[in-house]
Amino acid sequence: MQSELTLKGECARKAARQLAILDTRTKNRALKSIALGLLRNGDQILEANKKDIDAGRAAGLSDALLDRLLLTRERMEAIARDIDSVIALPDPVGQRFDSRILENGLQISKCRIPIGVIGVIYEARPNVTIDVSTLCLKSGNAVILRGGKEARESNQALTRVLRESLEGTGVPAGAVQIIESTDRSLVGEMLKAHQYIDMIIPRGGAALHQFARDNATIPVITGGIGICHTYIDKTANLKKATEIVFNAKVQRPTVCNALDTLLVHRDVAVDFLPTIHERLKGAGVEFRCDSRALSILGRDPSVRPAGEKDFDTEFLALILAVKIVDGIDEALSHIQQHGTQHSDAIVTEDYTNSMRFVQEVDSATVYVNASTRFTDGGQFGLGAEVAVSTQRLHARGPMGLQELTTYKWIILGAGQVRE
Amino acid sequence: MQSELTLKGECARKAARQLAILDTRTKNRALKSIALGLLRNGDQILEANKKDIDAGRAAGLSDALLDRLLLTRERMEAIARDIDSVIALPDPVGQRFDSRILENGLQISKCRIPIGVIGVIYEARPNVTIDVSTLCLKSGNAVILRGGKEARESNQALTRVLRESLEGTGVPAGAVQIIESTDRSLVGEMLKAHQYIDMIIPRGGAALHQFARDNATIPVITGGIGICHTYIDKTANLKKATEIVFNAKVQRPTVCNALDTLLVHRDVAVDFLPTIHERLKGAGVEFRCDSRALSILGRDPSVRPAGEKDFDTEFLALILAVKIVDGIDEALSHIQQHGTQHSDAIVTEDYTNSMRFVQEVDSATVYVNASTRFTDGGQFGLGAEVAVSTQRLHARGPMGLQELTTYKWIILGAGQVRE
């Protein structure tokens, strides 16, 4: 008997071959049909979601988790609007690049093509089901989804509507497969299903990423985990620095591009630290300080000495680790040692230091005089993102439609042979 | 006690950080020093190589293998010339691309950077030691080499000269590490050393590739294995077809881009098959034919019925599998089923079929009216290649300097924060 994964893997593989050669108009029409289908079947989806919410509440899920799980009429409308944005994005498939004509007359170019079948392993948020499916579909990829068991009813309702909406559009319904089994061993099976899946995107915590990397025989895109630094250099404009740090820490503290560690040049610490502390304290931020910062900020309920792990923690909360450094060299070596290659920033008016920071910090996104909160496919003009990669191959940083493609070389000849 | 890999991994990691920020002039000067060092120390290298050859002969290595192992004065000079070619190539590191200015004034761009530390696992050919090292060095990567035990003395002599040549050039000698232990378990250890190695390139047979894919926790670039097809369409110019097939099969049959399977449209088979058979037979090619081709070519010592595995074999020899197909659909589905996504060609004068072949064949390189033998970094104008990738992520087809880089996003601001 075939396992669920084998069965759905074969369907996805078959659909991927059909999807790869569809034109943009057909794919956009299917996306529009999904957007309309979601709105038309809102009641049915919200009903399924209510079951997940009730079960989650009974199981004692935190309020934060329940909120991530929750769908509402407004959220459904936002999801449908996001699909309209994906429709508006240019289709990367078929784009030619790096074209040249060789001396022997051969015309060679690279042509963007879909990767094939994308496997996505994610947790509670049911909107990921639609976001990922529509981005994969637009870029000509089939997708195999494995959502969290907390969102089981919601995900099934969403994919049912999604597949029904594909009927008659020319896009095969097999393009979106959802794994229904909640058996944990299935994740391990997915990671080794290289005959069916070409790329795995784990969306979850560090443990999931490490499990994926250690067990997969398929390329894994790890990411979405960021211990983000901002270094306030000696010459920083402290007014800008205050706004940048406040924004990076407070605007949305629960996400991966939020600020975790503030590094401050010793020569400006006495000026800057009390100002930023005053500002952030008002927003409820707790400071975890090294000894030098502690001696400046002194006693206050919002100021605590940093513990051993505070400079190696992604807080995802209103907590800020603070360290005073002797200069850019110490800042760079701190980031190299404690960073996660996600998003790091310098605030400076010094040209040479800005250039050094940009060159020497080895992160997916490196900022001068701006908030790390910009690390996002939408903000970068990619339209949407499927993940933020912090690994080194294929793609780094926000991954949009183009990063869901690969390429082949096309060589057009007139009978050329090699000498 | 630290293992050899841990020790060398740490050195490579440290060297990679220094290499990443070297300017092109310094790297080119180091490459020139290596080229001169190899010529100056030719005797010492040839002496070491003689030990490998003697040991190989005593161990009963085949003549083909001994030839791949052999270094001569002329081959050393060719290697030195190849280094000069690498010097002449543009340095990809630091190139900016996909630049744009966002509405809020943020200047964002991608900047090419080295991948970091490349691990290469290879077999008998000692020239790979120099080819790979110089390409990695030019692209700012450190490299950890694990050569075959047959080439042990040669590889040690080559890397000794290489590292001596780096002295005083500004390039750290730690940039090139060679694993001296011939313990097989070390390959497994390398595949999991993700704290030291960012990308693994296995250069060897299918078994090595599968072992790497199944055991690595590091991204693996598989490739270099090609069951290459050429399909002769109904409208093919048969004169061109003859030259293309002859070249693809005979010009260098032992390499991965050589032709393995010839597919012929039934309507031209009676004309084409006897012609190409006559031509290839003269070059010593053996035909392995399906029943229809057999009935055309009839009895001849060079014609045999195809066995069960012949359409799934990379021959690397003067053997050609031949099949008659009813048209392009059958050709496409044969390639889909039996291909290895390396190099496949159509010979046709039909516009629609040429477009279909290019779109529907999912190989790293797809040809119209040209020999598959062109799949090569040098031929494609990349200057040199470190491998031919047949996997889908990061790079497909010939991998040159650019494919040894990744990128980071650089965002230059003036105090921007996210709304």
Residue A389 lies in a domain: no
Q: B380 in contact with A at a CB cutoff of 8 Å?
A: yes
> Alpha-carbon torsion A144, A147, A153, A157, what sign?
negative
- Amino acid B339 reads G
Q: What percent of chain B has pLDDT over 90?
A: 89
Q: A198 in contact with B at a CB cutoff of 8 Å?
A: yes
Residue B418 lies in a domain: no
Q: A89 in contact with B at a CB cutoff of 8 Å?
A: no
Q: What integer pLDDT is reported at residue A251 of this predicted model?
A: 95
Same domain, yes or no: A357 and A312 = yes
Supply the range of the domain harboring residue B238: 228-376
Q: For residue A82, which of A405, A378, A381 has the smallest C-alpha distance?
A: A378
Mean pLDDT value of segment A208-217: 92
CATH code, domain carrying A361? 3.40.309.10
Taking CB atoms and an 8 Å cutoff, what residues of chain B touch A415? Answer: 237, 240, 243-244, 369-370
Same domain, yes or no: A291 and A201 = no
What lies within 8 Å, CB to CB, of A257 at 6+ separation is A226, A228, A248, A342, A343, A372, A373, A374, A375, A376, A388
Please tell me the distance from the alpha carbon of residue B346 to that of residue B332, in angstroms, as a whole number. 10
Cβ within 8 Å, pair A418-B251:
yes
Residue B298: CB atoms within 10 Å = 9
Tell whether the model's pLDDT for residue A412 goes beyond 80. yes
Cβ within 8 Å, pair A362-B115:
no
Q: A318 in contact with B at a CB cutoff of 8 Å?
A: no
CATH code, domain carrying A207? 3.40.605.10
Same domain, yes or no: A330 and A406 = no
As beta bridge partners, residue A120 has A145, A201
Output the CA torsion A401→A179→A155→A122 (10° steps): -60
Same domain, yes or no: B96 and B22 = yes
Q: For residue B144, which of B198, B69, B217, B212 has the smallest C-alpha distance?
A: B198
Taking CB atoms and an 8 Å cutoff, what residues of chain A touch B116? Answer: 392
Cβ within 8 Å, pair B102-A243:
no
Taking CB atoms and an 8 Å cutoff, what residues of chain B touch A371? Answer: 416-418
As beta bridge partners, residue A200 has A119, A220
Q: What is the pLDDT of residues A248-280, one digit of tens each?
A: 999 999 889 999 999 999 999 999 999 999 999
Q: What integer pLDDT is reported at residue A125 of this predicted model?
A: 85
In the numeric block, which tokens belong to residue A248? Answer: 């990076």
* Residues A173/A142, Cβ–Cβ less than 8 Å: no
Q: Which of residues 216-255 of B touch A (CB under 8 A)?
A: 217, 219, 237, 240, 243-244, 246-248, 251
Tell whether the model's pLDDT for residue A70 goes beyond 80. yes
Same domain, yes or no: B240 and B199 = no
Strand, coil or helix: what is A232?
strand
Cβ within 8 Å, pair A362-B251:
no
Q: B394 in contact with A at a CB cutoff of 8 Å?
A: yes
Q: For residue B112, which of B409, B418, B416, B412 has the smallest C-alpha distance?
A: B409
* Residues A134/A85, Cβ–Cβ less than 8 Å: no
Taking CB atoms and an 8 Å cutoff, what residues of chain B touch A248? Answer: 417
* Residues B349/A415, Cβ–Cβ less than 8 Å: no
Residue B190: CB atoms within 10 Å = 24
| Rounded (10°) angle between helices B152-166 and B42-58 | 160
Same domain, yes or no: B348 and B203 = no
Cβ-count burial of A17 within 10 angstroms (0-12 exposed, 13-18 middle, 19+ buried)? middle
Q: A211 in contact with B at a CB cutoff of 8 Å?
A: no
In the numeric block, which tokens belong to residue B356? Answer: 């279909």
Tell whether the model's pLDDT for residue B124 goes beyond 80. no
In the numeric block, which tokens belong to residue B274? Answer: 């006897």
Q: What is the pLDDT of residues A335-347, one digit of tens each?
A: 999 999 999 999 9
Q: A369 in contact with B at a CB cutoff of 8 Å?
A: yes
Mutating which of A388, A411, A412 best tests the B interface, going by the most B Cβ atoms within 10 A? A411
Residue A318 lies in a domain: yes
Residue B419 lies in a domain: no
Please tell me the distance from the alpha carbon of residue B407 to that of residue B354, in angstroms, as a whole number. 35
Same domain, yes or no: B292 and B159 = no
Please tell me the distance from the alpha carbon of residue B245 to that of residue B231, in angstroms, as a whole number. 10
Q: A352 in contact with B at a CB cutoff of 8 Å?
A: no
Q: Which residue has the tokens 């449908």?
A: A80
Please tell me the distance from the alpha carbon of residue B62 to that of residue A46, in angstroms, as a whole number. 70
Please tell me the distance from the alpha carbon of residue A76 to that of residue A34, in angstroms, as a whole number. 12
Taking CB atoms and an 8 Å cutoff, what residues of chain A touch B408? Answer: 362-366, 396-397
Q: Which residue has the tokens 């061109």?
A: B240
Please tell me the distance from the alpha carbon of residue A124 to that of residue B96, in angstroms, as a whole number. 38
- Amino acid B375 reads T
Cβ within 8 Å, pair B367-A413:
yes
Cβ within 8 Å, pair B370-A251:
no
How many angstroms separate the Cα of B349 from the Cα of each of A392, B131, B249? 43, 40, 22
Q: What integer pLDDT is reported at residue A65 of this predicted model?
A: 86
Nearest to A21 among B113, B359, B368 (CB): B359
In the numeric block, which tokens belong to residue A377? Answer: 């496919």
Taking CB atoms and an 8 Å cutoff, what residues of chain B touch A102? Answer: 379-381
CA distance B158 to chain A (A): 29
Residue B386 lies in a domain: no
Tell whether the model's pLDDT for residue B316 goes beyond 70. yes
Q: Which residue has the tokens 């496997």?
A: A119
Of A259-273, B82-96, B139-153, B374-388, least confident by mean pLDDT is B374-388
What lies within 8 Å, CB to CB, of A323 at 6+ separation is A261, A262, A263, A264, A289, A290, A292, A293, A306, A311, A334
Tell whether the model's pLDDT for residue A14 goes beyond 80. yes
Residue A272 lies in a domain: yes
Tell whether the model's pLDDT for residue A83 goes beyond 90. yes
Q: What percent of chain B has pLDDT over 70?
A: 100
pLDDT band at B182 (very low <50, low <70, confident <90, very high): confident
Same domain, yes or no: B331 and B200 = no
**For B110, nearest residue in chain A (alpha carbons):** A365
Please tell me the distance from the alpha carbon of residue A31 to that of residue A383, in angstroms, as a whole number. 15
Nearest 5°: phi and psi at A252? -160, 85
Q: List strands edge to edge, sheet with A343-347.
A: A303-305, A286-289, A319-325, A259-265, A228-232, A343-347, A365-370, B405-416, B107-114, B96-101
Residue A151: CB atoms within 10 Å = 26
In the numeric block, which tokens belong to residue B221? Answer: 């670039």
Q: What is the pLDDT of residues B246-300, one digit of tens each?
A: 999 999 998 899 999 999 999 999 999 999 999 999 999 999 999 999 999 988 9
Cβ within 8 Å, pair A374-B411:
yes
Q: What integer pLDDT is reported at residue A300 of this predicted model?
A: 92
Please tell me the distance from the alpha carbon of residue B231 to that of residue B327, in angstroms, as a whole number. 9
Please tell me the distance from the alpha carbon of residue B388 to that of residue A409, in angstroms, as a whole number. 12
Give pTM, 2 decimals.
0.94
In this structure, chain A runs to a length of 419
Tell whether the model's pLDDT for residue A1 goes beyond 90. no
Q: What is the 8-class DSSP label of residue B255?
A: S
Q: For residue A156, which of A297, A5, A45, A312 has the smallest C-alpha distance?
A: A45
Mutating which of A348, A392, A403 best tests the B interface, going by the most B Cβ atoms within 10 A? A392
Q: Which residue has the tokens 């999931």?
A: A208
Same domain, yes or no: A173 and A314 = no
Mean pLDDT value of segment A227-236: 98
Q: A194 in contact with B at a CB cutoff of 8 Å?
A: yes
Mean pLDDT value of segment A173-195: 92
Q: What integer pLDDT is reported at residue B189 of this predicted model?
A: 94
Q: For residue B182, which of B52, B371, B30, B57 has the smallest C-alpha distance?
A: B52
pLDDT band at A64 (very low <50, low <70, confident <90, very high): confident
Task: Enter the ipTM.
Answer: 0.94
Same domain, yes or no: A216 and A253 = no
Q: What is the 8-class DSSP label of residue A257?
A: T
Taking CB atoms and an 8 Å cutoff, what residues of chain B touch A396? Answer: 406-409
Same domain, yes or no: B364 and B404 = no
Same domain, yes or no: A202 and A266 = no
Q: What integer pLDDT is reported at residue B70 of this predicted model?
A: 94
- Amino acid A221 reads I
* Residues A413/A391, Cβ–Cβ less than 8 Å: no
B8-26 burial: b if 16+ Cβ within 10 Å, else e: bbebbbebbbebbebeeee
Tell whether the model's pLDDT for residue B324 goes beyond 70. yes
Please tell me the distance from the alpha carbon of residue B198 to that of residue B179, in angstroms, as a whole number. 17
Q: What integer pLDDT is reported at residue B1 of this predicted model?
A: 59
**For A408, nearest residue in chain B (alpha carbons):** B364
How many angstroms separate the Cα of A191 from the Cα of each of A5, A149, A211, A237, A408? 11, 18, 9, 48, 25
Q: What is the pLDDT of residues A87-140, one digit of tens each?
A: 999 999 999 999 999 999 999 999 999 999 999 999 878 988 999 999 999 999
Nearest to A367 among B246, B362, B411 (CB): B411
Residue B68 lies in a domain: yes
Residue A384 lies in a domain: no
| Rounded (10°) angle between helices A42-58 and A24-40 | 70
Q: A414 in contact with B at a CB cutoff of 8 Å?
A: yes
**For A409, nearest residue in chain B (alpha carbons):** B365
Q: B90 in contact with A at a CB cutoff of 8 Å?
A: no
Q: How far is CA B281 from the centre of its chain?
A: 29
Cβ contacts below 8 Å, chain A against chain B, sum to 193
Angle, vertex CA B153, rays to CA B149 and CA B154, nearest 5: 100
Angle, vertex CA A238, rays to CA A234 and CA A239, nearest 5: 165
**For B409, nearest residue in chain A (alpha carbons):** A365
Longest dimension (CA), chain B: 81
Tell whether the model's pLDDT for residue B123 goes beyond 90. no
The number of folded domains in chain A is 2
CA distance B241 to chain A (A): 7
